[in-house]
Structure 1
Amino acid sequence: MPEITEAELAPNVKALWLKALTAAQTKNHGYAIKLIQSVLKDAPGFLDGRKVLRKCAGNLTGGPKKKSKIFGMKTGGGLGTMKLAGQVKKDPAGALAAIEAELEKDPYSPELNDVLFDAFIALDMKASAAFALETVRQSHPEEIKLMHKLAEFYLAEEESMKAAEVYQDIIKVDHTDSAAIKGEKDATARASMQKQKWGENASMKDMLADSAASEEMEKASRTGLTREQLEERRDQLAAKYAEDQNNLGVVKDLAAIFERLEDWQSAQAYYDWGFQLSAGDVALRSKAEKMGDKVKESAMKELEARAAANPDDPEVKAMLEEQRKANIASAVEDANRRVEQNPTDPVLRYELGKALFDAGDFSGAIPHLQQAKRNPHIQSKVLLLLGRTFKAKNMLDMGVKQLEAALEDLVAMDTVKKEILYEKGLMHDEMGAKDDAISCFKEIYEVDYGYRDVAQRVEASYG
């Protein structure tokens, strides 16, 4: 099924479309939706109409809804997504109207847009398929599985830069997603090759000047290099950088080598330069900021070691205290700037909340931590910090409530659960609820006798 533009609409359909646009512009969204649904029945390949339809439905429903935990259940009544998915397999064209009817109730539904994507793929409507998952990307970036699906789609369509951008969004949500980290690097490399108009059928060996260059690339890809090998690789890249300081690939590789060598200052400088060369690669900016944090951490550790070696030196103590204050103030400033650049990123909200907590601005930290709870991957540590923030404000009952919420989704007794239980026990103890406190400590005692002072607390409770 072909995708069409406004100019290709039949005259009677175009008249409906123009009425729909007028209705949308005057915020008569319900009427606009009815008109566009009629347009799409006659012109299912009209992507611009589908985009306006989604905006109108979004305005009526008030934005993205909280995602259902059970995939395939009914969303707002009508056909369930499982049934729609079955219909797509039998008759993708016929399923479009039914899917759109459900999307009218929840236009940002990840499940429904995923089914819509599959329908468009079956109909060979690639731009419309991309739009379906891009809707999820904008409204539910935490849907990692669908984000990977979108990135893989872009790669298959030779849209490598778009794939790299999707992978960067995944990394924002989950910094530990190794598939996304590798995917972003590979997609960026492919985009660079496409930009230089290397043949699409050329193998990596064909793109290398000779076997020595091939060996160098293979060597660079290894993760188990010794320090000596890393330094050798650093020197090779430095020589290339001296020849061309605007080669983004070399700059990124050099930054990564310095990072692995734990030369944080040099790594920060090269990641920052790479960000400037890339015309705004957010992943490189994030790397530069992290390296800047590492520089501060390293300087702080050196000063702490110096203070520990000279405990009676008032000058060193004063320097240490001054540096701590400066680091806290800098962390708040940096975190504020990052949130201003990307106010919808829950991870950045958490980092700002933590910086404000460290600075003693507990009231300022709370709204940012509350927004950070949207990201399920960091929810436990967000709730833990939020609990501690309420505790710092002497609002112990509210602090306990946050920790109880954090424990709901934790099954295994890992480090995070132990920390939350211990903090909850301390709060109960401070509130005078001794039995509740001991109950928390006992849960830890049963699996980890040596955790902090739980053994002493539990055993003392037996008199």
Structure 2
Amino acid sequence: MSTIEESDLSEKSRKLWLKAIAALEQRNADFAINLLEALVKEEPDFLTGRKALRRAQIQKAKAGGGKKKFFGGLGAFNAKALAKKSWHDALADVEKELASDPFNVKVNNALFDLAVANEQYDLAEFALETIKEGHPEDTKSLHKLAQFHLDQDNPDKASEIFGAIVKRDPSDLVAVKGEKDATARASMRQGNWESKGGFRDMLKNEDEAKSLENASRAGMTKEQIRAQLTNGLGEYGENQNDLALVRKIGGFYEKLEEWQNAHQFYAWAHHLSEGDSALERKASQMEERASDEMIASLQAELEKLSGEEAAAKQAELDELVGARSARLTEAARERVERNPTDPQLRFELGQHLYNSGEFTEAIPHLQRARNNPHIRTRSILMLGRCYDAKGMLDMAQSQLEEALSELVTMDNTKKEVLYALAMVAEKNGDKDKYLGSLKEIYEADYGYLDVAHRVESSYAG
């Protein structure tokens, strides 16, 4: 049993899906929910539709001012009774309960257990991720999510979840050990050691084994990373076509923030992999950071100059910025042409087009990207910025408010959205929304950009 994609939908279901997307874009949550409920009943294995339904339910719950519940308000819901029903009937019962309380811990845990029992692992992950979004303080569910990722052989994700638990509760020794073990396991898999009967079996002696074990540990000093890099470069001199080794060296340079060297090794790793898109993206990111570093260096030099020297340096800087923007945009465009259905690539192209001042061209790519729940909020934020840049302030404000309605915790993304909303409100002459947005940031992060100055100066005089 597996999930289905949009291309697998029947003609009737596809029409429902398109209408639901349109309703979501128009912020008509009630209509979207009605359509999506009918859709998941007709196509219960369409996970993307179920995720969209949950997002609409969350929007409606927030708009109604309802509080997130852990266990209350479940009525006659009986998780144990689900095991006696067919997969689709049990799923329908769970959806009925989540309609009014999408973040409910007990029901989402029941959904997780039901999905695992039916080998619907993407749905199982989604159930626990929903709890994580609504109840980030619920470390019991976070532990369950981390263990699920380990069971699914996703140590990178497990390490990230364990890290979130440790950040919230540094005394949680199980999470501390879990993060360390998951990080080591991810490093071993990256080097392709597990597939060869254990990484020690690959090595010539215990000293080399210990060296690579040290490389897998998080929190190495720069001196330790440099030592590992030196060892790796020695091996590279003997074999320049070892993909795992080349990727590892790229990772060491990345940790040392030597972006140009990191770019060269990731680019070579991409070539050796015969087109691994993740390595291609990593190489592009390193090239971008190398350009950022060069631009920052030129800007620092420019501040010390005046007259003709300053004008010459400014011309050099402008040329570099323009060339960088054009190069990144063209590379992103080529990736989209090769993988036109990848929403992450659409988002990256839209972002580069925005940075190049091509606001109109960026909009359709960002609209496509926002259908992916993992990058939806970032895509809506960028759309708001595009509309702002085009002077379409009412549409910019609408997009930013939509993004804000989907954010729960005060993280960096929420601060970005609030700040952007404040700037649009200021242009619109809406002083209350302008200050209200800034004060939300001020209460959480005094040092964010110029928020403190803007808020405090509003009380002067």
State if a TM-score over 0.5 links the two structures: yes
Give the secondary-structure state (helix, strand or coil) at the position aligned to 1:64: helix
Q: Does 1:185 align with 2:190?
A: no
* Residue 317 (structure 2) aligns with: 320
Shift of 1:441: 4.4
**Measured at CA, do residues 370 and 61 of structure 1 come closer, stay the same or move farther in structure 2, by a change above 3 Å?**
same
TM-score, normalised with respect to structure 2: 0.63
**Measured at CA, do residues 443 and 191 of structure 1 come closer, stay the same or move farther in structure 2, by a change above 3 Å?**
closer
Q: Which residue, 50, 61, 80 being the options, matches 1:86?
A: 80
- 1:28-61 Cα distance to aligned partner (Å, 9 max, x none): 99xxxxxxxxxxxxxxxxxxxxxxxxxxx75998
Q: Which amino acid aligns with 2:121?
A: L
* Residue 12 (structure 1) aligns with: none
Stretches of structure 1 lacking an aligned partner (at least 5 in a row): 4-23, 30-56, 72-79, 104-110, 121-128, 156-162, 172-177
- 1:331-350 Cα distance to aligned partner (Å, 9 max, x none): 21122223334434443333
Q: Which residue, 121, 135, 138 being the options, matches 1:133?
A: 121
Q: Which amino acid aligns with 1:269?
A: Q
What's the C-alpha RMSD, in Å, of the aligned pairs? 4.9
Give the secondary-structure state (helix, strand or coil) at the position aligned to 2:241: coil
**Measured at CA, do residues 185 and 283 of structure 1 come closer, stay the same or move farther in structure 2, by a change above 3 Å?**
farther
Q: Which residue, 378, 392, 409 being the options, matches 1:395?
A: 392
Shift of 1:27: 8.8
Give the secondary-structure state (helix, strand or coil) at the position aligned to 1:68: helix
Contact 2:193–2:202 (CA under 8 A) maintained in structure 1: no
- 1:270-323 Cα distance to aligned partner (Å, 9 max, x none): 222223333444332222121111222122222223322323423222111111
Q: Does 1:229 align with 2:224?
A: yes
Alignment of 1:309-458 (within 5 A): 309-311=304-306, 312-313=308-309, 314-410=311-407, 415-444=412-441, 448=446, 451=451, 453-455=453-455, 457-458=457-458
Alignment of 1:167-246 (within 5 A): 182=183, 185-186=186-187, 188-189=189-190, 191-194=192-195, 196=196, 198=197, 205=200, 208-246=203-241
Question: Distance between the aligned counterparts of 2:298 and 2:345, measured in 1?
Answer: 28
Stretches of structure 2 lacking an aligned partner (at least 5 in a row): 2-7, 14-41, 59-73, 95-107, 133-141, 162-177
* Residue 293 (structure 1) aligns with: 288
Contact 2:191–2:248 (CA under 8 A) maintained in structure 1: no
Contact 1:275–1:284 (CA under 8 A) maintained in structure 2: yes
Which is greater in Rg?
A: 1
Give the secondary-structure state (helix, strand or coil) at the position aligned to 2:357: coil
Q: Which amino acid aligns with 1:253?
A: K
Give the secondary-structure state (helix, strand or coil) at the position aligned to 1:343: coil
Shift of 1:221: 2.3
* Residue 68 (structure 1) aligns with: 54
Question: Distance between the aligned counterparts of 1:286 and 1:85, measured in 2?
Answer: 43
Q: Does 1:119 align with 2:117?
A: yes
Shift of 1:102: 8.8
Question: Distance between the aligned counterparts of 1:244 and 1:351, measured in 2?
Answer: 34
* Residue 102 (structure 2) aligns with: none
- 1:438-461 Cα distance to aligned partner (Å, 9 max, x none): 44445555664962541465125x
Q: Which residue, 297, 302, 305 being the options, matches 2:300?
A: 305
Q: How many residues align?
A: 370
- 1:211-261 Cα distance to aligned partner (Å, 9 max, x none): 212221232223343333333222211111122222222222211112222
Shift of 1:64: 3.0
Contact 1:445–1:454 (CA under 8 A) maintained in structure 2: no
TM-score, normalised with respect to structure 1: 0.63
- 1:87-135 Cα distance to aligned partner (Å, 9 max, x none): 564x5xx7357469999xxxxxxx8995665334xxxxxxxx3xx3368
Identity score, percent? 30
Contact 1:444–1:451 (CA under 8 A) maintained in structure 2: yes
Question: Distance between the aligned counterparts of 1:27 and 1:436, measured in 2?
Answer: 44
* Residue 37 (structure 1) aligns with: none
